[in-house]
């Protein structure tokens, strides 16, 4: 007998993501989805971005966590508007949560919102959250096989930060392998080896980031 | 400044799950959500259930997979109505997919639908799919630390099958540890060490399963 095949499409999530785009286009706000494993350096990256771009842009942050609010407290102390999103166990953020949160910000005053997704290499990449672009982080201690093993995040990201590059002498991590594996699934990826600790590689990433934000808010 | 905290509740998934319960209550059909890691033995369990219960109940199956339809072909060859659900990369099944699929079955003729969820210890447990109860599988080769490491599936399941029990002599797997860790998060769990290969433990599980199905369809 012919077997019926049904595709599960996360259609409602896509619908809400589209609604967010309408709002952020009208308000001229860029939303950046920041993804990576636990400990890859997502919060440090966002802090460094804030330090470097706060003179040029009005920045907000949404901190996604399964529980707690440690990272939100860090951002709050920098004087940046921040909302803590708690997923109560869920391994990813969905668009409806972001739509709900947008109303907690003064959108007329913001240029860009960074969303720190849940620390996880797999699930977050499955869900659009109304972002204009994605910045994913792979840190050197995680190993250079992660693109091959968990391709979706790397296939769908706009920028890939190879973080903790100052640790390269101490790990058997082949940057060229990561680049090759990423380009195989994502030929247009922008890859930036960066050290959040000493700042190496950061200026190149910031140039790219400014261009992408400006594309959205000055178009 | 006080930080705003927002909880992400997968509310639309819960709404659809509730709608499925209305349909299955009217039609007197039980839906069973079968969860476990890849290779834990979900398909073998469903096949054994079919062999043992097809004389008593009219059975349907929904096979969830990221891609492909190998397991659906296996079930189809048994002469059981089956629909293949492909999630196109998503690590779990959501309720809206099940609602969509229910219309592909002749619901007036079915007593119970087994849903084989995506092989994954983490994400599937986060999403109700309109099921009446859950059957989760942990197989001996996976190790006895999995309840402690990934508690959600074990905390939310109605029955836990400890599968491949015939392999216990060859693995350092402490059944009592698994039982203790499960009862810690789920005091009402029903735990069945089972060997799908030689049938040990299966009669006790089937007795429990019949009772749970009857509760729904004969109430």
CATH of the domain at B124: 3.40.50.300
Residue A1 lies in a domain: no
B73 close contact with A: CB closer than 8 A: yes
Range of the domain at A19: 11-217
- In chain B, the number of structural domains is 1
B101 close contact with A: CB closer than 8 A: yes
Residue A67 lies in a domain: yes
Where are the alpha helices (H) located in A65-201, listed in sequence order?
A: 70-77, 95-102, 146-149, 151-156, 175-185
Lowest mean pLDDT among A87-96, A121-130, A171-180: A87-96
**CB within 8 Å: A11 and B126:** no
Q: Residue A80: closest CA among chain B residues belongs to which residue?
A: B1
pLDDT at B1: 66
pLDDT at B9 > cutoff 70? no
Sign of CA dihedral A12, A121, A177, A213: positive
Cβ-nearest to B89 among A83, A88, A126: A126
Question: What confidence tier does B5 reach under pLDDT thresholds 50, 70, 90?
Answer: confident
- B193-207: b (≥16 Cβ within 10 Å) or e: bbbbeeeebbeebbe
Extract the tokens encoding B31.
């839906």
**CB within 8 Å: B90 and A4:** no
A67 close contact with B: CB closer than 8 A: no
Predicted TM-score (pTM) of the model is 0.74
Tell me the nearest-neighbour CA distance from A165 into chain B, angstroms: 30
Which residues of chain A have a CB within 8 Å of the CB of B93? 8
**CB within 8 Å: A6 and B83:** yes
B218 close contact with A: CB closer than 8 A: no
Q: What is the pLDDT of residues A55-72, one digit of tens each?
A: 999 999 999 988 888 899
Residue B174 lies in a domain: yes
Residue B149 lies in a domain: yes
Cβ-nearest to B4 among A4, A10, A84: A84
**CB within 8 Å: B7 and A88:** yes
The DSSP code sequence of B23-57 is HHHHHT-EEEEEEE-TTSSHHHHHHHHHHHHTTTS
Where are the alpha helices (H) located in B139-201, listed in sequence order?
A: 146-149, 151-156, 175-185
Residue B22 lies in a domain: yes
State the ipTM, two decimals: 0.72
Lowest mean pLDDT among A105-109, B90-94, B104-108, B205-209: B90-94
pLDDT at B93 > cutoff 80? yes
Residue B5 lies in a domain: no
Q: How many CB atoms lie within 10 A of CB A125?
A: 23
Residue A6 lies in a domain: no
Contact between residue A31 and residue A115 where contact means Cβ atoms under 8 Å apart: yes
Residue B98 CB-density burial (10 A; 0-12 exposed, 13-18 middle, 19+ buried)? buried
pLDDT at A9: 65
Best CA proximity match to B146, nearest among B135, B128, B162, B130: B162
Q: How many CB atoms lie within 10 A of CB B26?
A: 9
A97 close contact with B: CB closer than 8 A: yes
**CB within 8 Å: A12 and B104:** no
pLDDT at B15 > cutoff 90? no
Residue A3 lies in a domain: no
Q: Are strands A190-193 and B4-7 parallel, antiparallel or unpaired?
A: unpaired
Contact between residue A189 and residue A71 where contact means Cβ atoms under 8 Å apart: no
């Amino acid at each position: 007998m012919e077997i019926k095949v049904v595709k599960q499409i996360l259609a409602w999530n896509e619908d809400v993501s589209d609604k967010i785009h309408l709002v952020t286009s009208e308000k001229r706000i860029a939303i950046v989805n920041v993804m990576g494993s636990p400990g890859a350096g997502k919060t440090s990256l966002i802090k460094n971005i804030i330090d470097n771009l706060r003179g040029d842009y009005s920045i907000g942050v949404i901190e996604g966590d399964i529980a707690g609010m440690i990272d939100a407290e860090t951002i709050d102390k920098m004087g940046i508007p921040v909302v803590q999103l708690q997923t109560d166990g869920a391994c990813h953020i969905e668009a409806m949560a972001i739509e709900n949160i947008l109303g907690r910000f003064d959108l007329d005053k913001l240029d860009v919102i960074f969303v720190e997704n849940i620390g996880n290499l797999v699930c977050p990449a499955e869900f659009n959250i109304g972002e204009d672009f994605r910045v994913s982080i792979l840190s050197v201690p995680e190993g250079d096989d992660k693109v091959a093993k968990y391709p979706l995040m790397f296939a769908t990201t706009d920028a890939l930060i190879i973080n903790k590059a100052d640790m390269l002498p101490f790990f058997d991590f082949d940057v060229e392998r990561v680049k090759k594996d990423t380009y195989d699934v994502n030929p247009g990826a922008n890859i930036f080896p960066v050290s959040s600790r000493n700042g190496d590689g950061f200026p190149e990433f910031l140039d790219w980031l400014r261009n992408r934000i400006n594309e959205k808010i000055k178009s």
